[in-house]
Amino acid sequence: MGLFLAGLAMLTAPVGAAVLGAGSPATAAPASGPYAYVANAGANTVSVISTASNTVTATVPVGSGPYAVAVTPDGARVYVPNSDANTVSVISTASNTVTATVPVGSGPYAVAVTPDGAHAYVANLNANTVSVISTASNTVTATVTVGASPGAVAVTPDGAHAYVANLGANTVSVIDTASNTVTATVPVGAFPYGVAVTPDGAHAYVANVNANTVSVIDTASNTVTATVPVGANPYGVAVTPDGAHAYVANLGANTVSMIDTASNTVTATVPVGANPYGVAVTPDGAHAYVANAGDDFLSVIATASNTVTATVTVGVPSVAVAVGHLVAATPTPTTPTPGAPTTTVTATPASLPVTGGRGQSYAIVAAALVGVGIALVAGSALLIRRRRFTA
């Protein structure tokens, strides 16, 4: 089994509050995002991409074998598991530098941040465990034993459970995040690699690489209630912010299947680049980004037409996608007029939809583009990540 992977995350500048003088309108600072964070496993770096211009604006050295990324709900940090170093690099998005390195279990390949931003769950493929990192201290505060070869993790929108796909056991472990214990084990298809939770938290979609199917888990009963045939070797899965569709990257077919979640049937198939591993839906639901392991670019699908409308050159094959929160740019404070009354303009929470995917990926839909991210909305940074599998 050869492994090769990268991760991508999108976010914008955090929301702030401005104190304004009478007659002094707020001036919004130029949007500094969204940005895509791409983990380059072969180069031991993370590329920072401006999605406005689709250009690389920074390259951040991390540990050896970075295989995933997850963005905190406030957009301040990116967590990157380094599979060969058994560590997680913590990147400050303000400076695009690594500010902490956290030792975890052997072979960390997936990471998901909880909706409140307090913890990061890291799936350790070689240790059959999940490390729980406190993001306040950047230390491991718990280690949870799960099934064989955990390769993906997703946290439910309410933060109560983490779903872990065990590709070596053909199961999904359900972790109670309050006690950090496994409370259920769900049999799924062969070689489950991707997992995504719907915005309402009612279902988890699991991509089964060797079965060419997606298992749909009812999270209330933790049973599989539907099995959806898709393309060859599905690796990544992401649910749209409105919960209406799931996009599945089919490595062996060079396509992306779109599943109607109401009927659990494939209603569209989109040709993309070579060996698509990862897929993530943008926070507004307008586009799906697809990481093509066999090419050096990402395919961008317009979800309204289900056609590829753009490609983003990253220079190396990429196989993972993670979508963070969406918030408005911080208003620029103006100088109040002396003696004039002041008005405080404060950002308000966004509406709540989120999406999920392999590793994990939650896209927050921001009402009026003012969002509080995955934390307050019943979602956590959706992360989808992939790994090349050779039978």
* Per-residue pLDDT tens digits for 17-50: 222 222 222 222 234 457 778 777 778 888 887 7
Domain-located, residue 109:
yes
The average pLDDT across 3-13 equals 41
pLDDT at 69: 86
155, amino acid identity? V
b (16+ CB within 10 A) / e for 290-304: bbbbebebbbbbebe
Question: Has residue 316 got a pLDDT over 50?
Answer: yes
> Is 154 a member of any domain?
yes
Give the burial class of 372: count Cβ atoms within 10 A of its Cβ; 0-12 exposed, 13-18 middle, 19 or more buried.
Answer: buried
What six digits make up the tokens of 61? 């050295």
Q: Tell me whether residue 219 is in a domain.
A: yes
Is residue 22 situated within a structural domain? no
pLDDT at 162: 98
For residues 235-260, give the mean pLDDT: 96
Yes or no: say if 209 and 187 are a contact pair by the CB < 8 Å rule: no
Q: Confirm whether 122 is domain-assigned.
A: yes
Q: Is the dihedral of CA 41, 312, 15, 94 positive or negative?
A: positive
Which residues of 177-275 form beta strands (DSSP E)? Answer: 181-187, 192-197, 203-208, 213-218, 223-229, 234-239, 245-250, 255-260, 265-271
Residue 221 lies in a domain: yes
More confident residue, 39 or 185: 185
Rounded to two decimals, the pTM is 0.79
**Average pLDDT for residues 248-264, to the nearest whole number?**
98
Q: Which residues contact 54 (CB under 8 A, 6 or more apart)?
A: 310, 312, 313
23 domain-assigned: no
> Which residues lie below 8 Å from residue 370, measured CB to CB, with a gap of 6+?
15, 327, 328, 347, 348, 349, 350
Q: Does position 247 have pLDDT exceeding 80, yes or no?
A: yes
pLDDT range class, residue 270, cuts 50, 70, 90: very high
Does residue 1 sit within a domain?
A: no
Show Cβ contacts of residue 309 under 8 Å, excluding neighbours closer than 6 positions: 287, 300, 301, 302
Segment holding 103, helix H or strand E: strand 97-103
Side chain identity at residue 281, one-letter code: V
CATH code (residue 60): 2.130.10.10
Q: How far apart are CA 9 and CA 77, in angstroms?
A: 11
**Domains: count for the chain:** 1
Residue 235: domain span: 10-16+30-334+341-385
3 state DSSP class of 283? coil
Measured in degrees and rounded to the nearest 5, phi and psi for residue 102 equal -110, 120
pLDDT digits (tens, 9 = 90+) for 110-162: 999 998 999 999 999 999 999 999 999 999 999 999 999 999 999 999 999 99
Q: What is the DSSP letter of 357?
A: B
pLDDT at 37: 81
- What confidence tens digit (pLDDT) does each residue in 48-98 have? 877 777 778 888 999 998 888 888 888 889 999 999 999 999 999 889 999
